[in-house]
Structures are given as C-alpha cells and as structure tokens.
Amino acid sequence: MKSPGSGRRFTLGFAGVLTGLLALAYGNSFGVGFLFDDAWGIAQNPAIRSFASVPRYFVDPFLLTPVRENVDVRPVLMISFALNYAVSQLSPWSWHALNVILHFASALLVFFCVRDHVWWPREERGADGAARWPAAAAALFFALAPLNQQPVVYMWARSALLCTALSLGAFLAFLKERRALSAALFALALLTKAIAAILPLLVVVYLLLERRKVGKSLWPLLAVLAAYLSYRALLLPAWSEDARHEIWVTRWIWLMSGWTSYLYYARLFVWPDALSVDHDFAYNLAFFTWRTLLSLAAVLGWIGFAAAGARRRPAVAFATAWYFLALAPETTLSPISEVINDHRPYFASALGLALLLAWVLWTAARHLVRRPEVALAALTLCACAVATPVVRQRNWIWQDGLRLWLDAEEKGPGNGRAAMNAGRELMARGRLDEARARFVRARELMPENPYLYMNRSVLESAQGHPEAAVEEARKAMDLAPHNPIARKYYERALSAGGAETLMERGLDALYRRSDPRAAVEAFARVLGKDPQHYGATFQSAVALERLGRKDEARRMWVKSAEMAGRYGDEATAQTAREHLGK
C-alpha cells in the first residue's frame, strides 16, 4: 500500500536528481562563448541591445540577424536575447543560465507528460502510479543525452530549446483541458521557431490513440496556426525559403536524405560517438541506391511496426509518431543548410526517442526481474553516469573554436569544411604553416569551394606573398562571380599588394568593371613606385583616353612609344602611334 504522499515525494526526489545531474553535466558549459551564427545574430546584432526594439521584432523579419539571407520571424526568441543582453551584455553567464533553465523545464515537462498522459495502460498513470518510473527515466534520458548538448551550449540553437519548452507546455496544457493556456503557449512557440507548427498533428495522434474524438477542442490550436501562417506569409519575402539551402538541393533530394537522417539521429541518441559541429553526411541524390532504399525500408519498417501494434503498444506508436512528425518540418519538408545538425532532433527526442528508450527498458525489466522499478532506476542512473562525462567533454570541446573544428575533422576525415575551418582557426592564432597544411587538405576534398580560396588568399598575404594572395582571391571570384564577399577579398588582396598587385587592381577596374577612373588611380600608384613601369605606362594611356583626358593620355602614349622603341616591341609602338595619330 502506497502512503498518501509517496507520489509527491517521488516527484520532489526526481526533481532533485534532475537538478543535480544537470548541474554536474553542464557546470563547465558557462565558458562557451558566442560562436558561428552567434556572431551575426547576437554579438553584432544591434537590434537586441535595447528593449525599445521589441515591437519591431514582430513586424521586421530582417532584425533577426544582419545576414540578409537568414531572414525569419522569431520575435519571442529575440526577446529572450534582448533580456540576456540587458542582464550581462555579451558576458555569456546569463545566456547559459537561461539555456540550462529551459533545458531543465523541458525535461520536467517530459516527466509530467509521460507520467500523467502519454503512458499506457492508463491505470498506471498519475503521481502514485507505476508510470512515474518510466516517466522519470524518459526525462533523464532526454536531459542527459549527449545528442541534446548542442542546443544547451550553442546560443543560436536556443530556438530549439525555447520552442520545445513552449510546445511541451502547450501540449500538456491541452491534455489538462486548459485550452486558452494551450493556445497562448502554442502561439509563443510558433513565434520562437516555425517547427512548432506540427503540434496540432501531434495532438491528433494522441487523441486517436486515446480513442477520443478529434472535435472542437482542436479549434483554438488550428486558429492560432492559421493566423501564424498568414502572418508569416505576409512578412517574409518570397525568396526567403530558397535562401535557406543550396540551390541544387531539391525537395525530393531533401526528402530522400531525410530517411537516412532519421536513422542517424536515433543512433546518435543511444551511441553518440559521431557528435560534431559539422557532420560529413552525404545527400541521397538518387532513389535507386542502396543507401536510399535501405534507409527507406528501415524507416517504413519502424513506422509499420509501431502502427501495427498501436492497440497493444500505444506508447511505442505515440513515441514513434512524435519522433517522425516533430522532425518532419526540417528533415523532410523544408530544405535547409545541412542534412545533419546536432540541435535539430531536440524537440523530436523529448517525447520520441527518450520515451521509446524508457519503454524498452521498462518492458524488459518487467519481464526479467521481480522489482522492475529498481532495475529501471539502476539502468537509468548508470546511463546518466556514462552520459554525463560525455556531455562535459563536449562542453570542453565547445569552449575552443580550434578544438571544435579539429574534432569535426577527426569525426569526418573527408570533411573539407572542417579542414578549412580548422585552418582558419590556426591562421588566426599565427600557426600559419599548420594552417597551410589544412588548406591543402581542404583543396583536395572540395576544390570548387570559393571560401577556401578566400582563406588561402588571406594566408598568402599574411606570409608575404601578395601576388599569390591576388591569385587565390581571383580563383574565389571565378568560382563565385556574383558573391560580394569574394569581391571584397579580391579588393583587399589587391590593395595590400606591391606593384604587380596594383597592376592587377588597375586591370580589373579597366577591363572587368569598366571603371577607368579607378584604373587611372591604380596605375598612378604603380608609376609612383616605378616611373618606368612599362605596363602601367601603356595601360594609363588607355584609361586616360577612355576618361576623355586627351592631353594626359597623349603624354602617356608618347612615353609608351618611346619605351616600346627601346624594348624593340614594334606591336606596342605601332599601337601608340595609331592613338597619337587620332
């Protein structure tokens, strides 16, 4: 016979264990700074530096980040950024504190959802029921999974943290029949990240498994979703969807690649050996390949098993549906920048993979031992004891940009981006020869990447090779002729060089950009260094003539003809005479 307060004591004890384990696992994460997209969306974003900008968050999607291509509607996320900036500016402690609190809240919501609502048989639910044991296990698996570490330490991935906490809150409020609260939390989740749009479908799955009618209770969520989709369509430019992925990645390629990524994330949840800031994960480009077909067969087999046993194993059916549907917006429907990203399955793992793992262990314990709750508690704590040092190790790696990219390079030997970015970090630290070796490796792996040549241009300039710096920058421009960043690197290489580099700049202005004024300035600088520079004399004459400065051009043509005569260059002498005769 259970004592009347046993359920409450269990809940308090669970909350204490969760708090202690999270403090142990993430205690060393507060030293992680602002990395990658944090630089644009946080450190260099003036919009988050004053609460006066908050109303504009809701009407100007370009405030999310100064990078125009990353336009999106996430005002609630931006409010959280503004709050952190008001508390500690760019000192990361308050940012990490809020992230850990959100992670704790999400794990607690997983516990209450499983204990009271998404566990079968129904008679085991409740504070004093047997469901509290697998509920606690699922919440701890979710909280300590190394796969879920990235959204806790990476500031820009807070969108996944905050959206998950709000979505779980909306789901739990719906199950408790608090419709107004559920709709309000759902609206906040949508205004944090669009993946929350899948929540009404997750609610439908639950109602079907509970054999309840899908009736008027769903209308508040659907009304919020319809309003959000209209609001989003009104604010976002038509090109925003295409800006999120490579031009050649079609929806069909993304869908086929998603089949493999579902399996890959599930594997990382239970065996996190390949966690990385940049996964070397290939797209599935064709349907009739073994990788694509086997992935599809495995996914269909998993879903088929769960669906076929929905009446006998509703927990498995619900967890499977939650996992696949929660990941669907980013993994199968909307192409984005990478096939795999460690923070993407955070929402899907909450009542998906974590619940599945808890169900498997609980079911096995019930069949094998007399006291399954003791066995499950022991297995769960052992898993947490193994996961905690892995999480701490990942936190340590995230504290240093070079460690991050060296780790990614080790996990993906064929990953050219990892080699290139490791080279960038080495170059920033003055380890130029090591950086060069990384860039050579990156060129072997991705010879058509313009950003590699931009970095090589900087390295050549740093090692005192101005002409080589220009050549590398030109390669970047040839690969990405309309990329303004490539043009910027090219101009920088030209301006930093000697006479030959200035000649390149003048020729580029005269013949590529049709800007004779800039060409005249560049050639004048060359002649200032070397008044007898043959090429600068001739090209100055051409540029001055195009500008209509005939007297100056004539003097240069005369000088060019004289120099051509001395060098025995009859072709150039003839050209100069023709221009003088006009």
The SS3 assignment for 400 reads: coil
Reading the block at residue 443, the tokens are 């060129």
Reading the block at residue 492, the tokens are 């920088």
d(CA 134, CA 113): 11
Q: What is the pLDDT of residue 581?
A: 84
Q: What is the pLDDT of residue 494?
A: 66
Cα dihedral across residues 67, 71, 77, 82: positive or negative: positive
Identify whether the C-beta of residue 319 lies closer than 8 Å to the C-beta of residue 110.
Answer: no
Identify whether the C-beta of residue 137 lies closer than 8 Å to the C-beta of residue 361.
Answer: yes
d(CA 370, CA 520): 90
d(CA 519, CA 46): 37
d(CA 64, CA 56): 10
Identify whether the C-beta of residue 265 lies closer than 8 Å to the C-beta of residue 327.
Answer: yes
Q: What is the pLDDT of residue 1?
A: 45
d(CA 338, CA 180): 37
Q: What is the pLDDT of residue 224?
A: 98
Output the CA angle 264-265-270, nearest 5 degrees. 100
Q: What is the pLDDT of residue 206?
A: 97
Reading the block at residue 170, the tokens are 């909306």
d(CA 60, CA 42): 16
d(CA 87, CA 572): 69
73 CB-near residues (< 8 Å, 6+ apart): 61, 64, 191, 194, 231, 232, 235, 236
Reading the block at residue 97, the tokens are 């504190």
133 CB-near residues (< 8 Å, 6+ apart): 362, 372, 373, 376, 377
> For the chain, what's the residue count?
582
Hey, what long-range contacts does 31-35 have (CB within 8 A, 24 or more apart)? 31/92, 31/399, 32/92, 32/96, 32/153, 32/154, 32/395, 32/398, 32/399, 33/92, 33/399, 34/90, 34/92, 34/155, 35/154, 35/155, 35/398, 35/401, 35/404
pTM: 0.85
**201-244 pLDDT, tens digit each:** 999 999 999 999 888 899 999 999 999 999 999 999 988 877 67
Distances (CA, A) of 389 to 42, 385, 514: 29, 7, 60
Q: Do you find a cis peptide bond into 66, omega within 30 degrees of 0?
A: no
Identify whether the C-beta of residue 368 lies closer than 8 Å to the C-beta of residue 375.
Answer: yes
The SS3 assignment for 241 reads: coil
- Output the tens digit of pLDDT for each of the chain's 582 residues: 455 568 899 999 999 999 999 999 999 999 999 998 898 899 999 999 999 999 999 999 999 998 877 899 999 999 999 999 999 999 999 999 999 999 999 999 999 999 999 999 999 999 999 999 999 999 999 999 999 999 999 999 999 999 999 999 999 999 999 999 999 999 999 999 999 999 999 999 999 999 998 888 999 999 999 999 999 999 999 888 776 767 788 999 999 999 999 999 999 999 999 999 999 899 999 999 999 999 999 999 999 999 999 999 999 999 999 999 999 999 887 888 789 999 999 999 999 999 999 999 999 999 999 999 999 999 999 999 999 999 999 999 999 999 999 999 999 999 999 999 999 999 988 889 999 999 999 999 999 999 999 999 989 888 878 778 888 988 998 898 888 788 788 777 766 666 666 777 788 888 878 888 988 888 888 888 778 888 889 889 999 999 889 999 999 999 988 888 887 778 888 888 888 887
Identify whether the C-beta of residue 124 lies closer than 8 Å to the C-beta of residue 116.
Answer: no
Reading the block at residue 549, the tokens are 């400065």
Residue found under tokens 């800039």:
518
**360-416 pLDDT, tens digit each:** 999 999 999 999 999 999 999 999 999 999 999 999 999 999 999 999 999 999 999
Instruction: Report the interhelical angle of 93-116 vs 132-144 (nearest 10°).
Output: 150
Three-state secondary structure string covering 462-476: HCCCHHHHHHHHHHH
| Helix or strand run (H / E) with residue 189 | helix 179-190
